[in-house]
Amino acid sequence: MAVVSPEDHKAIEAAFDAAQARTGAPLMGVAAEASADYAEAPLALTLLIALAAPWPWLLFTRVSAERVFAIQLGLALVALALSSFSQVRVRLTPRGARRSHAHRAALVQFLLRGGEHAPGRNAVLIYVSLAERYARVIAGDEASRHISAQQWQGLVDSLTSDMAKGDLEAAMSAAAGRAADMLAPHFPANGEVPFKGARFHSA
């Protein structure tokens, strides 16, 4: 299932194009369904259940070893089946680990989109990951020098608040406009295209 519908994708792209026309700083956006597959925690839980399940039956009941083995196998299979759902895997992963994965994914996307090599070192990436309900702005050195971390955090706070309303298209479009408002005074548009290729990506 796509993170955004084709119609919403076009609307967000148009918003980023309009924002880009107002500033010479490369402006990009990425919306991801999740920042990782989070397989580790469910596998660990399944192993723990499989190892722990037999002991209460063996210690406190007269159930046969064969039946205990069947119960153990059944519980492990149920745990594995539940872990096939991405939301379950995310919920089973500690919050700190989720944020770490999302932050790392945002940095990777910034590098993949060429943000690190922008001529003016002023590229900006707006990244959201829906499974973690996470948003972050990655800014190049020059963009960070002119715009404080508190200002970027204000954009992120507004973005996450808008995302909570359930309309990703409106949230991302508004964030693109806010980013252009912040960048334009320091990096005004000069008629050149500062970034080649699509400005918004979803996965």
Q: What does the pLDDT read at residue 4?
A: 83
Asked if residue 84 and residue 110 are part of one domain, the reply reads: no
Q: What is the CATH number of the domain that holds 25?
A: 3.10.310.50
Domain with 59 in it:
40-92
Q: What does the pLDDT read at residue 175?
A: 97
Asked if residue 88 and residue 100 are part of one domain, the reply reads: no
Who's near 184: CB < 8 A, 6+ residues apart?
A: 22, 23
The answer to the question of residue 182 being in a domain is: yes
Asked if residue 129 and residue 56 are part of one domain, the reply reads: no
- Which of 52, 67, 92 lies at the terminal end of a domain, its last residue? 92
Helix (H, G, I), strand (E, B) or coil at 1: coil
Who's near 124: CB < 8 A, 6+ residues apart?
A: 25, 26, 27, 28, 115, 137, 138, 139, 140, 143, 179, 183
Asked if residue 174 and residue 128 are part of one domain, the reply reads: yes
Asked if residue 106 and residue 183 are part of one domain, the reply reads: yes
Rounded CA separation 186/195 (Å):
17
By DSSP bridging, strand 27-32 and strand 200-202 are parallel
The answer to the question of residue 1 being in a domain is: no
Nearest to 46 by CA among 11, 89, 5: 89
Domains in the chain, number: 2
Rounded CA separation 163/131 (Å):
12
Who's near 70: CB < 8 A, 6+ residues apart?
A: none
Q: What is the pLDDT along the chain (203 residues), one digit of tens a residue?
A: 457 899 999 999 999 999 999 999 999 999 998 876 656 666 666 667 667 777 777 777 777 777 877 877 777 777 667 666 666 666 666 777 778 888 898 999 999 998 988 888 999 999 999 888 899 999 999 999 999 999 999 999 999 999 999 999 999 999 999 999 999 999 999 877 666 656 888 87
Asked if residue 144 and residue 54 are part of one domain, the reply reads: no
- Which of 76, 92, 108 lies at the terminal end of a domain, its last residue? 92
Asked if residue 65 and residue 113 are part of one domain, the reply reads: no
Asked if residue 181 and residue 121 are part of one domain, the reply reads: yes
Asked if residue 145 and residue 65 are part of one domain, the reply reads: no
Q: What does the pLDDT read at residue 15?
A: 96
Asked if residue 135 and residue 150 are part of one domain, the reply reads: yes
Query: What letter represents residue 171's amino acid?
Result: A
**Residue 199, CA distances (Å) to 21, 48, 89, 95, 186 in order:** 12, 44, 30, 30, 20
The answer to the question of residue 183 being in a domain is: yes
Helix (H, G, I), strand (E, B) or coil at 80: helix
Laid out side by side, the sheet with 200-202 consists of 134-139, 124-129, 27-32, 200-202
Asked if residue 73 and residue 129 are part of one domain, the reply reads: no
